[in-house]
Amino acid sequence: MSVKVTDVKCFITAPGVCDLLVVKVETNQPGLYGLGCATFTQRGFAVKTAVDEYLRPMMIGRDVAYIEDAWQQMMGSSYWRNGPVLNNAISGVDEALWDIKGKMAGMPVYELLGGKCREGVQIMPHGGGGRTLEEMGDNIEKLLAQGLDWMRVGIPCECPDEIKPKGAPVAYYLNPDQARENYVTVFKYLRERFGYRPNFGIDIHERFTPTEAIRLCKDLEPYKPAFLEDLLAPEDAAWFDNVRAATSIPMAMGELFVNPLEYRDLVAGRKIDYMRAHISMLGGFTPAKKLAAFCEVYSVKTAWHGPHDITPVGMAAQLHLDLASPNCALQEFGDVSDLVREIFPGAPWREGGYAYVNDKPGWGVDFNEELAAKYPAKGYVMTGSMGFLARRPDGTAVRS
């Protein structure tokens, strides 16, 4: 008797700051179901609609064994494809099918990929927040004491109020010159205090024009950052040839990728060092494992995107791929609250500088629907003070 899909459900819960989306695929086998992550916290209700109205009718009655076939049909059936809303919806179903596959085999998913390359995955948390350089350094000191020596450092980039235009709307104002000065000041301080052993990287968030970005690289070169992430926007990817010629600083890229054309030439041309894509934004586990293998061919390492706007189910999926990928270097990882662990029993955990998953079949993570329902979605209303609504000093709206 084949195992068939009987229902597909999408849940949104917000036990923390972000709305988290979970897809549950139920089957005709009692107690057999799979979970996947579809979290696009900025457009969560759109993803839920895509799952409920389009993917659910398509999936009911299908054999759970044919994951690749299901993925191809989900991706191609809309004709227009490769966007974050549909990709996240597809990811939720795709990851749930892999969870079912592991449960049916009685194995963790990493075993289905050939087994572990390592026992734990080296992690990279966010670190270094603080109102002053000394406070930032003290916070980093605490992380280093916990066994962490990779971290992304947050650096303020706002411009002074006095240079904003009259009547400027409330927003996150970015001053490239001030930002570049801040980056250099912070890295000079970090290297003087901690030396060159800790690996400090920066998420640039595509805040600079290409020429400004190259100037930043030249300024930071003496301080040896571990990487610069998203130095340029995906639309400016052709400039990475100039970046490679100008600096030896490693490049990390991919947080915004939703289309294979965005990463194909960067990887094949060896223009980046770390692939930073967010797995659900790519469309799930199925395309992510292909991307990891593609990166391996060109000696590009993986360092999947994984901040707090990802469910423990999604983090588990990334870690299972990390464990089975020889070219995995890092995993962005944030500790979760006790409440989130209660909603997601079996969630991955951190010990020192490494993250771990349990050895249960599938992802090894469950979902407490009743408890999750007590923390309804908040929606994501953009406000002018948020960094994603950024402006240049003259008031021009830009992306960040």
Q: Which amino acid is at 290?
A: K
| Rounded Cα distance, 237 and 369, in Å | 42
**Contact indicator for 108, 316 with CB cutoff of 8 Å:** no
Question: The dihedral of CA 236, 240, 246, 250: what is its sign?
Answer: positive
Helix (H) or strand (E) holding 398: strand 397-398
Token couple for 219: 């300024």
Q: Is 9 helix (H, G, I), strand (E, B) or coil?
A: strand
Bridge partners of 24, per DSSP, are 9, 35
Q: How far is CA 369 from the centre of its chain?
A: 24
Strand-pair partners of 302: 275, 328
| 172 part of the active site | yes
Distance between CA atoms of residues 204 and 221, nearest Å: 15
Q: Which of 172, 173, 183, 263 is catalytic?
A: 172
Q: What are the start-end ranges of the E strands in 64-205?
A: 121-124, 126-127, 150-153, 172-173, 199-203
d(C-alpha 87, C-alpha 82), whole Å: 6
> What is the rounded distance in angstroms from the CA atom of residue 390 to the CA atom of residue 381?
15
Q: How far apart are the first and last CA of the chain?
A: 51
Scan for tokens 């407490």, then name that residue: 368
Q: Out of 183, 205, 278, 305, which one is annotated catalytic?
A: 205
- Residue in this structure with the two tokens 């391996």, named with its chain if needed: 296
Q: What order of strands is seen across the sheet that includes strand 397-398? A: 172-173, 390-391, 397-398
Contact 275, 230 (CB under 8 A): no
In sign, the C-alpha dihedral spanning 238, 244, 247, 248 is positive
The CA-atom distances, in angstroms, between 312 and each of 2, 214, 280, 288 are 29, 37, 13, 17
> Is residue 205 among the annotated active site residues?
yes
Could you give the CA distance from residue 313 to residue 22 in angstroms, rounded to a whole number? 8
Active site residues per annotation: 172, 205
